[in-house]
Amino acid sequence: MATIYCYSRAGRTSPMCRRPERLDMTTLPTGKSVPFIRLPDAPPAEDMNNYLYLNFQGNTHFLSEHFGSKDTTIIVGDTYISREPTASMAGLFEPDLMIAFNVRPDLMKERNGYVISEQGKPPDFALEIGSASTGRRDSTVKRQGYAALDIPEYWRFDPSGGRFHGEPLAGDRLENGEYVPIALEQLDEGTWQGYSRALNLYIRWEHGQLGWYDPATGRHIRRYEDAQQELEAARQALEAERQALEIERQALEIERQVRLAAEERLRDLEGGQNPA
């Protein structure tokens, strides 16, 4: 069996590397206490790629909105995946983005990570964003690790266009315990895409940006630009309604003034016919 090494963003370390265990004590009905093991915290990122290509663009938020079922769906980044509860970092991986359906987010919160034996299945999807410090491991060590964890799909996005991963976009699908490359198509000089069966979405590399396209509509899933356009459309609709109400108010005021003038003229006429 191959030695399982502990990997961090700084590179491979000793197979014996560990963090001090962080345990909560759970009391059994017998009165005995046993440790409740929480997974260790993932190390802080050494670059801003997650922020730039996932968080800043709202990808995690709008993916969550697109898939719905928030009580049974996990969409998270930089969280460890483990087959069993452990306080050791040995053999753990924390993808930049992990998606799992028909699972229990509350268990992940309690464990501080995704424990496959508790959830009853591995995550459905993992994605890494390439950088100078992680690119080589994304394509080698992590590819092997995610296959060993039986994650059905593993994708790699390289914002540089291939300097870190050797290609702008790459995806693998698990077949018979091994990853097989997913076919990609080049739509134009600056756009590559591949179909994610796990997500039922087309994943795109679009001029250095990460895109998610719904095959049912051919359009990108809802994003910040769409939300801003919806807000602007709502603002314009409210303004049009306000203007319509103002026009109606002015028309009613003119009608009132005409009626008052007519009533006053009628009184004058009646006064002339019936002098005191």
Q: Is the pLDDT confidence value at 26 over 80?
A: no
The DSSP element (H or E) to which 106 belongs, if any, is helix 105-111
Summarize pLDDT for 210-236 with one digit per residue, the tens: 999 999 999 999 887 777 777 777 888
Kindly state the average pLDDT of the residues 247-265: 91
Summarize pLDDT for 66-79 with one digit per residue, the tens: 999 999 999 999 89
* pLDDT: which is higher, 185 or 1: 185
Kindly state the average pLDDT of the residues 137-157: 97
Read off the tokens for 273. Answer: 């016919």
Q: What would the DSSP string read from start to end of 91-102?
A: T-B--SEEEEES
Number of neighbouring beta carbons within 10 Å of residue 114: 25
Q: Which residues pair with 171 in a beta bridge?
A: 155
pLDDT (0 to 100) of residue 57: 74
* pLDDT: which is higher, 225 or 159: 159
Least trusted range by pLDDT, from 150-154, 162-166, 260-264: 260-264
Counting residues of the chain whose pLDDT is more than 70, the rounded percentage is 82
pLDDT (0 to 100) of residue 218: 94
Q: Which domains does the chain have, with CATH numbers?
A: 7-22+35-222 (3.90.1570)
Q: Is the pLDDT confidence value at 35 over 50?
A: yes
Distance CA 103, CA 81 (A): 14
CB–CB of 19/112 below 8 Å? Answer: no
Kindly state the average pLDDT of the residues 151-169: 96
Q: Which residues pair with 73 in a beta bridge?
A: 101
pLDDT (0 to 100) of residue 150: 98
- What does the mean pLDDT of the chain come to? 84
pLDDT (0 to 100) of residue 146: 98
* Confidence band of 59 (pLDDT split at 50, 70, 90): confident
* Confidence band of 41 (pLDDT split at 50, 70, 90): confident
Q: Is the pLDDT confidence value at 5 over 70?
A: no
Q: What would the DSSP string read from start to end of 186-219?
A: EEETTEEEEEETTTTEEEEEETTEEEEEETTTTE
In Å, how far are 47, 92, 186, 259 from 205, measured between CA atoms?
20, 28, 9, 68
Q: Is the pLDDT confidence value at 23 over 90?
A: no
Q: Which residues pair with 36 in a beta bridge?
A: 24
Q: Is the pLDDT confidence value at 274 over 70?
A: no
Kindly state the average pLDDT of the residues 179-199: 97
Q: pTM to 2 decimals?
A: 0.71
